[in-house]
Amino acid sequence: MSTSPSFNLGWECCDRWVGGGFGGRPAIHFGDRRLTFADLQVLSNRIGNTLLGCGLGRGDRFLVRLPNIPELYATVLGGLKIGAVPVPTPLLFGQRELEHILTVAGIRLAVSDQTFLQATRHVRATIPTLRHVLCLGNRGPDALSFEDLVARASPALDPCRTSLEEPAFVLFTSGTTGRPTGIAHAHRAFNLARGNPCGRWAMDLRPDDVVFQPHDLAFSYSFGCGFLFPFHCGASVVASAERVPPERVFEWIERFRVSIFLSVPTMYRTLLSLGIEQRFDLSSLRRCISAGEPLSPRTYAEWKERLGLDILEHIGQAELQMFCANTPQSGIKPGSVGKPLPGYTVAVLNEEGKPAIGAIGDLVIRDDNPALFYEYVGQPEKWQSTHRNGWYYTGDLAIQDEDG
């Protein structure tokens, strides 16, 4: 067992605000409902106790497959608070991907809606570790009612005193072989224990911010920037049970007074092509962030001209989240991914492992950065191949200009 200091992500992102006297702050905007951090604490406590009652223990992995509803956020937080390891999975994953995840991750319990039951009905019996399925909404004879169990559970829970090095969560991303790759993180993930530079520096999050990202929360970009980072800063998020189409994004920004919008370049291009931004009051919006694919200078310039806002391009990975960003503090250069965040040592190396000055090379990060993952689930050889001579090789190529 690690002797590193106690640090529990679930407590840090929820209970800390309640204990500090800020439980009345909004945490989740969901349609006409608004959940405060106090509400979220009670719901996540009930879910944590439900998971304990189903036999889930410290270090046990459990799958979470839900749309972006309050129960998704609360289930992840409740699992973290009891020391269990949530494994959020994208809704796009079907039977093949889910069977792989259930097997390779040793999943002991699943919290899901009907889509999981349908996608795994032919394979669940072959997964020896899977003991329970808790289903939200209509359920079949082979699942327990999530709502009934949570309603009966105690609202009081003493969070587990996990260490920085203990397992916290696993994110699965599509691998080059077509099989999802599991990326395991400890409670030190994404440097939340070191001041949250992604949230506080790159996103400039404040407690009164409202964050909206119209993507699946199981993706790393959304999971960090649309969940952990805002909650760690006491900000709130906008949630939706259904996918928010591009045609309604501006409507949602106006309705919920969104101040920080997160998306991908494809979405920004689509929003510009609609030409409807003038119909809405977007005065609450102060920061737009892009990641996931390169943002063209043309898209940046058109958005800036029409909406009067910069699109701040970042780069990150499921292995460590954001590590370089364009920010007003460090300077904005369209067509680049910006500069390294405070506390991140980033370099571009040639084939000999030396600085590739003015040339294209491997984009690498010092592998002692606490933000980094600790394991590719079931793929130790992959972990070894990405760590060489004190560097983590991201797999991306880059060139560093004279501005850094």
Phi then psi dihedrals of residue 199, to 5 deg: -75, -45
Mean pLDDT confidence for 87-106: 95
**What is the rounded distance in angstroms from the CA atom of residue 180 to the CA atom of residue 171?**
9
Could you tell me the two tokens for 263?
A: 């998306």
Under 8 Å between Cβ of 150 and 46: yes
Determine the pLDDT at residue 5. 63
Give CA separation, 329 vs 94, 324, 326, 403, in Å: 42, 13, 8, 14
Mean pLDDT confidence for 143-162: 97
Determine the pLDDT at residue 3. 45
210, β-bridge pairs: 236
**What is the rounded distance in angstroms from the CA atom of residue 44 to the CA atom of residue 155?**
8
Mean pLDDT confidence for 253-268: 98
**What is the rounded distance in angstroms from the CA atom of residue 144 to the CA atom of residue 112?**
10
| Maximum average pLDDT range among 129-143, 176-190, 222-236 | 222-236
65, β-bridge pairs: 112
pTM: 0.95
Using the predicted structure, report yes or no on whether residue 220 has a pLDDT greater than 50: yes
Q: What is the pLDDT of residues 365-386, one digit of tens each?
A: 999 999 999 999 999 999 999 9
Q: What is the pLDDT of residues 311-339, one digit of tens each?
A: 999 999 999 999 999 999 888 999 999 99
Cα–Cα nearest to 52, from 40, 43, 60: 60
Under 8 Å between Cβ of 164 and 186: yes
Using the predicted structure, report yes or no on whether residue 131 has a pLDDT greater than 60: yes
Query: For the residues of 84-152, what is the DSSP string, one character each?
Result: -EEEE--TT--HHHHHHHHHHTT--EEEE-HHHHHHTTTTGGG-TT--EEEESSS--TTSEEHHHHHHH
The C-alpha R_g of the chain, in whole angstroms, comes to 21
- Non-local (6+) Cβ contacts of 356 within 8 A are 348, 349, 350, 362, 399, 400
Could you tell me the two tokens for 164?
A: 């920085």
Mean pLDDT confidence for 231-235: 98
Residue whose token pair is 């680049």: 336
**What is the rounded distance in angstroms from the CA atom of residue 388 to the CA atom of residue 385?**
7
Using the predicted structure, report yes or no on whether residue 404 has a pLDDT greater than 90: no
Using pLDDT thresholds of 50, 70 and 90, give the confidence band for residue 177: low
Which helix (H) or strand (E) element contains residue 382? Answer: helix 380-386
Mean pLDDT confidence for 127-132: 93
Instruction: Walk me through the domains of the chain, giving residue ranges and CATH numbers.
Output: 9-184 (3.40.50.12780), 188-344 (3.40.50.12780), 345-398 (2.30.38.10)
**Average pLDDT, rounded, for the chain:** 94
Query: For the residues of 200-222, what is the DSSP string, one character each?
Result: IIIS---TT-EEE--S-TTSHHH
Using the predicted structure, report yes or no on whether residue 224 has a pLDDT greater than 70: yes
Using the predicted structure, report yes or no on whether residue 138 has a pLDDT greater than 80: no
What percentage of the chain has pLDDT greater than the value 70?
A: 97
Q: What is the pLDDT of residues 196-205, one digit of tens each?
A: 999 999 999 9
Using pLDDT thresholds of 50, 70 and 90, give the confidence band for residue 122: confident
Mean pLDDT confidence for 37-44: 99
Using pLDDT thresholds of 50, 70 and 90, give the confidence band for residue 1: very low
Cα–Cα nearest to 69, from 237, 267, 249: 237
262, β-bridge pairs: 289
Determine the pLDDT at residue 2. 41
